[in-house]
Amino acid sequence: MQLNHALLLATNIQHMAQFLESSLGLKKGPRPAFGFDGVWLYDDLDTPCIHIAAKFGINESQSDYLSQASVSTEAVGLSTVDHLAFFATDYQEVKARLKATSIPFVEREVPAANEHQVFIQGPDGLKIEILFTRSELI
């Protein structure tokens, strides 16, 4: 089993998409006509890995699609997710992209593992981990 995608509910769909494009290098791509606004972002393997839909002011189509009992003014999702993590292979490129777009980041090592983490904070409190092997740091 592997993770297929994550659906993010954003207060501003385009702002969230722009942040993920500039910080992670994801690209907008085709999205089915669901009957409600949204964006699908694709990784460098052309896989649609992040889906974005509205958090507030949702319509009946989105409500039905997300299996909510009734239309409310706020889409309700799981609040138990702390962060999303992406594995990356070009540490210097990612770090340069974050600096060029003025996105602050925090780095740390995973104890007893060959992993280096870079954390960024996005819109709506979204926390993202970008994970590298230590050999990428050289």
Q: What is the CATH number of the domain that holds 90?
A: 3.10.180.10
Residue 72 covered by a domain: no
pLDDT at position 71 is 44
Whether 89 and 56 share a structural domain: no
Residue 132 covered by a domain: yes
Kindly state the tokens that stand for 2.
Answer: 């592997």
Whether 130 and 99 share a structural domain: yes
Instruction: Tell me the residue range of the domain where 114 lies.
Output: 84-137
pLDDT digits (tens, 9 = 90+) for 10-21: 999 999 999 999
Kindly state the tokens that stand for 124.
Answer: 């709506």
**Distance between CA atoms of 3 and 13, rounded to whole angstroms?**
22
Residue 92 covered by a domain: yes
Whether 46 and 88 share a structural domain: no
pLDDT digits (tens, 9 = 90+) for 51-96: 999 888 777 777 776 654 344 555 555 556 778 999 999 999 999 9
Residue 77 covered by a domain: no
pLDDT at position 75 is 54
β pairing state of 127-133 and 84-87: parallel
* Number of domains into which the chain is organized: 2
Q: Would you say 53 and 7 are in contact if contact means Cβ atoms under 8 Å apart?
A: yes
Q: Which residues contact 48 (CB under 8 A, 6 or more apart)?
A: 5, 29, 30, 31, 40, 41, 42
Domain boundary among 35, 65, 95: 65
Residue 79 covered by a domain: no
Whether 61 and 10 share a structural domain: yes
CATH number at 44 reads 3.30.720
Residue 50 covered by a domain: yes
Whether 10 and 60 share a structural domain: yes
